[in-house]
C-alpha cells in the first residue's frame, strides 16, 4: 500500500428490507391476462411503484438494480436490470444487471445486492424478478450440452420438474397423493382468506393490459387462484408426468406470468432517508442436491442458513415456502418435524394457489413475510425458502423489527 494511502476499515453493515411489491400474477398463455403484454413492462411497473410508495428516496440514491429472469431472451433479455431501470425513468447514472438462478432468481437478486450493502459497496438497491411464461415457455430455446446425456451426468427426467416431484414421492412414500391434495386445498383456502381480510392487496401493483378485440382491462388481483377448491375436486385430476402418478395440476404451481421488486438498504441509510424497515436480513444460504429430486433442496439450504445464524428450526416463527409442488413442501416439513397444517407455514397460502412465475417468486415470499411480521410482533425470526431447478435450494432468514428484542436497534458494530 502506498504510504500516502488511507486504509478504509470496513465493517459489515445491517441490511434491511424496506419495501416490496408485485404485479398480480396471471396465467401463462393466450387466454391469460398478460397475453400481449411485455415482460419488461411488468417489472417497470414494480420499480415505479416502489418509488411512488417511498417518496423520501431520491432516485439518484439507488446504487444498482438487479432483476432476474430464467429465460433471458426477447423482452426478458438485454441485461434486463439496466433496461428496466432506464424504462422506469431512473437516472442514467443508476446501473443495473441481470441474474439467473431459475426459480430463485429474485431471491438471488436480493442476496447478491444485500451482500454489496453489507460490504459497503451499496447503500440502496432495487432487486426483483420477472417471468412471462406465456412469452417464454420454460425450457424453450435451450440447448443442453449433450454430455448431460452421453455421460449420464443427470437422469434425463431431471430436466422436467414434474418428473422430479414424482421422484420425491418415490423417495418419501409417506407423502401420499391424499396428503398433497389436502395440502393444496388448504393453500387455496388460506389465500382466499387472506384476500378476504385484505392482506394480499396492499402490495399489488395494478397493471393495465390490452387484448385485440377485447380492449383494455385493469388487473388488480391474481388470476390463478381457485377459491373453494376441495380435496374431492383434486382427487380426479390426471397425473401428466406418470401413469397412475401423484403430481397433478391441482397440487403443483401452474405456469404463470408476473414480476416482483424489493427495495433494500443499509439500516443507517434507511434511518437517514426516513425509509421504513420491514425486516432485517440475518443469514442466507444456497445448497445443491441431486437434480433428480430437486424439491428437497430447501432442506440442506435451511440447515446451512440456520448454522450461520446460530438458530434452530424451533426459533423460526414464520415460514414462507414456495409451493412449486405440494410434495416438495411436505418433504421439508417432515424433515424438520413440522405438521402439514402448522399455523406458522404459508399463512396466506402459496404458489399452488397464487402462481409461480419462476424468477419472480422469491420476492413474493419476502413481501408476504414482511406483512406477517407487522401483523404478529410476537414472532422474532422468519424464513423464506424455495427449491430450484437442476437440483438446488435457497433459504433466507429474517428478523422482525416489530419484536421487542429486535437486534437492529443496537449499534451496528455491536451486532
Quick one: average pLDDT of 255-269?
A: 98
Q: Which of 136, 356, 381, 403 is catalytic?
A: 356
46: annotated active-site residue: no
Q: Single out the catalytic residue among 46, 103, 169, 403.
A: 103
Q: Which of 367, 390, 357 is nearest to 76 (CA)?
A: 357
Of residues 171 and 155, the one with the higher pLDDT is 171
Burial (CB < 10 A; 0-12, 13-18, 19+), residue 276, is middle
Is the model's pLDDT at 415 over the cut of 80?
no
pLDDT per residue as tens digits for the range 396-412 = 999 999 999 998 864 44
What's the distance, Cα to Cα, between the start and end of the chain in Å? Answer: 30
118-137: average pLDDT: 97
Q: How many CB atoms lie within 10 A of CB 245?
A: 17
pLDDT averaged over every residue in the chain: 94
Q: What is the DSSP string of 192-252?
A: HHHHHTTSSGGGBPPEEEEETTTEEEEE-S-SS--TT--HHHHHT---TTSTT-S--SSSB
Other CB atoms within a 10 A radius of the CB of residue 140 amount to: 10
Mean pLDDT confidence for 152-174: 91
Query: Rounded distance, CA 320 to CA 194, Å?
Result: 14
The distance of Cα 320 from the centroid of its chain, to the nearest Å, equals: 9
| Residue that has been written with the C-alpha cell 398480480 in this structure | 24
User: pLDDT tens digits for 184-222?
Assistant: 999 999 999 999 999 999 999 999 999 877 889 999 999
pLDDT given at position 241: 93
Task: Please say whether the structural domain 15-134+155-399 has been given the CATH code 3.10.180.10.
Answer: no
pLDDT digit string, tens, across residues 65-113: 999 999 999 999 999 999 999 999 999 999 999 999 999 999 999 999 9
At 154 the pLDDT is 86
Answer yes or no: is pLDDT of 347 > 80.
yes
Burial of 151 (0-12, 13-18, 19+ CB in 10 A): exposed
Instruction: Please report, for residues 69, 156, 202, 383, the alpha-carbon distance to residue 370 in angstroms, rounded to integers and kept in the order given.
Output: 23, 39, 12, 10
| Predicted pLDDT at 2 | 56
**CA count, 13 A, side-chain hemisphere, 30:** 1
Percentage of residues in the chain with pLDDT exceeding 90?
88
Tell me what pLDDT residue 5 has. Answer: 57
387 is catalytic: yes
Answer whether residue 7 shows pLDDT above 80: no
Residue 19 reports pLDDT greater than 70: yes
- pLDDT value of position 54: 98
Predicted local distance difference test score (pLDDT) of residue 6: 60
**CA proximity to 35, closest of 175, 207, 278, 274:** 207
Q: Among 31-35, 122-126, 365-369, 405-409, where is mean pLDDT lowest? A: 405-409
Element (H, E) at 42: helix 39-53
1-10, 12-21, 293-302, range with the lowest pLDDT: 1-10
Look at strands 64-68 and 316-321 and give their pairing.
Answer: unpaired
Tens of pLDDT, residue by residue over 292-345, are 999 999 999 999 999 999 999 999 999 999 999 999 999 999 999 999 999 999
Residue 414 is predicted with a pLDDT of: 38
Amino acid at each position: 500500500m502506498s504510504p500516502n494511502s488511507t486504509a478504509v476499515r470496513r465493517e459489515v453493515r445491517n441490511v434491511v428490507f424496506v419495501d416490496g411489491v408485485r404485479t398480480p400474477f396471471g396465467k401463462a398463455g393466450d387466454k391469460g391476462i398478460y397475453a400481449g403484454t411485455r415482460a419488461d413492462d411488468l417489472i417497470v411497473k414494480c420499480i415505479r411503484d416502489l418509488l411512488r410508495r417511498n417518496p423520501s428516496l431520491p432516485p439518484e440514491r439507488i446504487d444498482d438494480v438487479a432483476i432476474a429472469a430464467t429465460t433471458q431472451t426477447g423482452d426478458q433479455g438485454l441485461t434486463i436490470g439496466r433496461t428496466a431501470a432506464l424504462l422506469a425513468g431512473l437516472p442514467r447514472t443508476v446501473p443495473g444487471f441481470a441474474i439467473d438462478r431459475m426459480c430463485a432468481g429474485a431471491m438471488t437478486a436480493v442476496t447478491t445486492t444485500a451482500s454489496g450493502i453489507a460490504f459497503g459497496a451499496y447503500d440502496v438497491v432495487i432487486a426483483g424478478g420477472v417471468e412471462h411464461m406465456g412469452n417464454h415457455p420454460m425450457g424453450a430455446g435451450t440447448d443442453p450440452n449433450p454430455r448431460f446425456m452421453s455421460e449420464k451426468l443427470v437422469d434425463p427426467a431431471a430436466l422436467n420438474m414434474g418428473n422430479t416431484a414424482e421422484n420425491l414421492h418415490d423417495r418419501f412414500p409417506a407423502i401420499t397423493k391424499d396428503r398433497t391434495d389436502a395440502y393444496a386445498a388448504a393453500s387455496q383456502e388460506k389465500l382466499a382468506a387472506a384476500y378476504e381480510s385484505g392482506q394480499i392487496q396492499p402490495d399489488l401493483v395494478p397493471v393495465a393490459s390490452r387484448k385485440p378485440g377485447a380492449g383494455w382491462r385493469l388487473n388488480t388481483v391474481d388470476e390463478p387462484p381457485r377459491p373453494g377448491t376441495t380435496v374431492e375436486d383434486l382427487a380426479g385430476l390426471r397425473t401428466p408426468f406418470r401413469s397412475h402418478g401423484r403430481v397433478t395440476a391441482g397440487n403443483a404451481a401452474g405456469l404463470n406470468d408476473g414480476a416482483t421488486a424489493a427495495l433494500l438498504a443499509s439500516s443507517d441509510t434507511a434511518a437517514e432517508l426516513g425509509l421504513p424497515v420491514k425486516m432485517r436480513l440475518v443469514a442466507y444460504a444456497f445448497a445443491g442436491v441431486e437434480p433428480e429430486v430437486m424439491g428437497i433442496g430447501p432442506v440442506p439450504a435451511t440447515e446451512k442458513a440456520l448454522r450461520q445464524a446460530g438458530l434452530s428450526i424451533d426459533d423460526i416463527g414464520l415460514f414462507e415456502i414456495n409451493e412449486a409442488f405440494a410434495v416438495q413442501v411436505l418433504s421439508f416439513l417432515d424433515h424438520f418435524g413440522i405438521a402439514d397444517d402448522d399455523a406458522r407455514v404459508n399463512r396466506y397460502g402459496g404458489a399452488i394457489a397464487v402462481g409461480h412465475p419462476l424468477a419472480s417468486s422469491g420476492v413474493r415470499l419476502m413481501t408476504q413475510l414482511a406483512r406477517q411480521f407487522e401483523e404478529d410482533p410476537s414472532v422474532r425470526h422468519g424464513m423464506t425458502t424455495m427449491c430450484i431447478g437442476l437440483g438446488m435450494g435457497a433459504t433466507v432468514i429474517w428478523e422482525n423489527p416489530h419484536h421487542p428484542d429486535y437486534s437492529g436497534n443496537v449499534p451496528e458494530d455491536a451486532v
